Homo-oligomer: A and B are copies of this chain.
Amino acid sequence: MSNKRVAFIGLGVMGYPMAGHLQKAGYDVCVYNRTQAKAAAWVEAHGGRRADTPAQACAGAQMAFCCVGNDDDLREVVLGPEGMLAGLEGNTVLVDHTTASAEVARELYAQAAGQGVAFLDAPVSGGQAGAENGVLTVMVGGQTEAFEKARPVIGSFARSVKLMGESGAGQLTKMVNQICIGGLVQALAEGLHFATRAGLDPKAVVEVISKGAAQSWQMENRYESMVDNHFDYGFAVDWMRKDLGIVLDESRRNGAQLPVTALVDQFYADVQEMGGGRWDTSSLYKRFEHKKS
């Protein structure tokens, strides 16, 4: 078991470049992906190795990463008969970059601990561009010792890596992130929609108001594609709805009130109905202006 042997399970739009950064940083990466052609392409592009199952990819690895779709995918890839825990030896670290529930994080943490594997929930923000440029932000839940081991490795593809608390705390932090984005994007969409109806030039408006208390990353980075009616990129509405579903479930447990988040989640249902499941989250704007397109 070499210090440099790592596994990466799940080569989606995020995992593919993340695994690439690990290989470039000098780790000996063995990948697994459900669609094997993608794994083959990755090996062709980056070197490294690929395996036929998560368990095989993890065999002999000191640290294993995964980044899959949702709670169910995650359970399967970690706990399944050919799953990661079937391949990992004791005294290793399993880092999960999936945005999932805090519940599944704690469940997998307990299962992994049973065989001496330290599980870290480590969802990311920064999107596809952040993954490709290796500048993701990573929010981690789990034990300090495992975090200290994983931090430099995660640093291969992240600009900021932070331990937020015990198991589940990474997921919970990501949820706060999504809550803040939902209402903010809707407010921005309402503002730009109003600007258009008022006969103002949205570009000029943003130039002025982004200097003050209304400023946001979304305003600076999304207003242009919003008013240009261009949404074929970015963070998909389908993923946002999945995340908000996790948020709203968790709020039923912790008693938080999220009225605007709950409402915006319903507006995203409308975007899905319009055929926009793959559009960027900024497409909330299109709900107001779609009759004109």
Contact = CB atoms under 8 A, between A and B. Distances in A.
Contacts of A201: 164-165
A150 to B, nearest CB: 16
A207 B163 CA distance: 12
A216 to B, nearest CB: 4
A258 B212 CA distance: 21
A179 B194 contact: yes
A209 B183 CA distance: 15
A66 to B, nearest CB: 21
Nearest to A188: B180
A247 B266 CA distance: 13
Interface residue tally on A, bucketed by range: 35 or more
Interface string A105-136: 00000000000000000000111001000000
A209 B125 contact: yes
Identical subunits present? 4
B217 A198 contact: no
A99 interface: no
Contacts of A184: 183-184, 187-188, 214, 216
Given A213-B218, A291-B273, A183 B190 contact: yes
B262 A265 contact: yes
A89 interface: no
Given A172-B199, A180-B190, A198-B254, 17 more contacts: A127-B213, A162-B207, A175-B194, A175-B198, A176-B191, A176-B205, A180-B188, A180-B214, A182-B187, A183-B188, A186-B259, A194-B254, A194-B256, A215-B216, A256-B269, A259-B266, A273-B291
25 contacts: A125-B212, A127-B213, A130-B212, A137-B208, A160-B211, A176-B200, A176-B214, A177-B191, A177-B212, A183-B183, A183-B186, A184-B187, A187-B260, A187-B261, A190-B257, A190-B258, A193-B258, A194-B251, A198-B250, A215-B216, A252-B269, A255-B269, A262-B263, A263-B263, A273-B291
Interface of A: 102, 125-127, 130, 137, 139, 159-160, 162, 164-165, 169, 172-173, 175-184, 186-188, 190-195, 197-201, 204-205, 207-209, 211-219, 221, 235, 241, 245, 247-248, 250-252, 254-267, 269-270, 272-274, 288, 291
